[in-house]
Amino acid sequence: MNKGKHFTRVCLDCGKVMENVAGNLRFCASCRRERHNQYCRDYRAHNEKPARVMWYTVWDAKTGDLLASGTSEMCARRLGYKSANSFASAVSHGLSGSHRTYKYTFARERIDRSEVDSLPPVRTIRKKPAGAPTPTSCKG
Ligand SMILES: [Zn+2]
């Protein structure tokens, strides 16, 4: 019995001799596990780069004029916020509706990072936010 598992192979990684194994086996068990871990690490590292970014659009609450649109950095600079973070938190407050006194109307959407890279500085969309799209804020 044990058909097809009568080969003696040498692990390509550590050189460990493995007897009575399949002919196509190339790595011993521990090296296979290590390679899998490495694969997972690579995968995770690759996916930590955000493929999608938040795109903000800001209107004047009174006149409805488009004031700024772009990433939080771009809008913060345009509207005079001292940092992208302070702009983002202002948007969160504005969208939550708890601060009615805000002079801006905000919209927030997720778009592809490649879209940002290939875009001109200001995108002219005139679409008003329809209702509250219940944004999920992720901190950290
Ligand atoms: Zn090995």
- Span from the CA of 3 to the centroid of ligand 1 (angstroms): 23
- Specify the higher pLDDT residue, 42 or 60: 60
How many residues would you count in the chain? 140
> Quick one: pLDDT at residue 79?
93
- Specify the higher pLDDT residue, 21 or 3: 21
- Span from the CA of 80 to the centroid of ligand 1 (angstroms): 58
> Quick one: pLDDT at residue 41?
85
> Tell me: the pLDDT tens digits for 73-101?
999 999 999 999 999 988 888 777 665 55
Contacts of 74 (CB under 8 A, 6+ apart): 68, 121
CA atoms within 13 Å, Cβ hemisphere of 56: 26
Contacts of 80 (CB under 8 A, 6+ apart): none
Q: Tokens standing for 55?
A: 């795109």
Judged against a pLDDT cut of 80, whether residue 127 lies above it is answered with: no
CA 41/CA 44 separation, integer angstroms: 5
- Span from the CA of 8 to the centroid of ligand 1 (angstroms): 13
Domain-wise residue ranges, the chain: 7-48, 52-117
3 DSSP assignment = T
The pocket of ion ligand 1, defined by CB under 5 A, consists of 11, 13-14, 16, 28, 31
- Specify the higher pLDDT residue, 1 or 11: 11
CA 17/CA 24 separation, integer angstroms: 14
pLDDT band at 115 (very low <50, low <70, confident <90, very high): confident
Judged against a pLDDT cut of 80, whether residue 56 lies above it is answered with: yes
> Quick one: pLDDT at residue 139?
52
Judged against a pLDDT cut of 60, whether residue 135 lies above it is answered with: no
Within its chain, how far is the Cα of 69 from the centroid?
Answer: 19
Grouping H, G, I as helix, E, B as strand and the rest as coil, residue 100 is: coil
- Span from the CA of 35 to the centroid of ligand 1 (angstroms): 10
- Span from the CA of 42 to the centroid of ligand 1 (angstroms): 20
Judged against a pLDDT cut of 80, whether residue 20 lies above it is answered with: yes
Judged against a pLDDT cut of 80, whether residue 18 lies above it is answered with: yes
- Span from the CA of 82 to the centroid of ligand 1 (angstroms): 54
- Span from the CA of 47 to the centroid of ligand 1 (angstroms): 28
> Quick one: pLDDT at residue 121?
55
